[in-house]
Amino acid sequence: MDGFNAFKNENTSYENENLNQGSQDEVKWFTDDFEQAAKNRVPDSHALSIYRPKEKGKFKKFLKRPAVTAIVSSVLTCAICMSAFAIAFKPQTVERPYFVTENGASADTTLVASTQNLEQATGSVLTVPEIYDKTALAVVSIVCQSSASSAYVQGATATSSGSGIVITEDGYIATNNHVIEGASVITVRTLAGQTFDAKVIGSDSRTDLAVLKVEPEDKLIFAELGDSSELKVGELAVAIGNPLREELAGTLTVGVISAINRNMVIDGKQMTMLQTDAAINPGNSGGALLNSKGQVIGINTAKSYGEEIEGLGFAIPINEAKPIINSLIKDGYVTGRPLIGIVGIDVTEEIAKVNDLVVGVYVRDVSQFSAAERAGIKVGDVITSFDGKKVLSIDELNKFRDEHKAGDTVKVELNRSGQKLTVDLTLLEEKPQAESTQQQQQQQPQQQIPRQITPSDLFKWFGW
Give me the amino acid identity at 292. Answer: S
Write down the catalytic residue from 178, 203, 204, 395.
178
Q: Is 74 a catalytic residue?
A: no
Residues 6+ apart with CB under 8 A from 463: 144, 160, 162, 176, 178, 179, 181, 285
Per-position DSSP letters for 155-172, written without gaps between them = S-EEEEEEEEEE-STTSE
d(CA 79, CA 73): 10
- Catalytic residue, candidates 161, 228, 285, 385: 285
Cβ atoms within 10 Å of 404's Cβ, excluding its own:
14
d(CA 397, CA 386) in angstroms, rounded, equals: 7
**Catalytic residue status for 218:** no
Catalytic residue, chosen from 133, 204, 208, 395, is 208
Active site residue 285: yes
Active-site residues, by number, are: 178, 208, 285
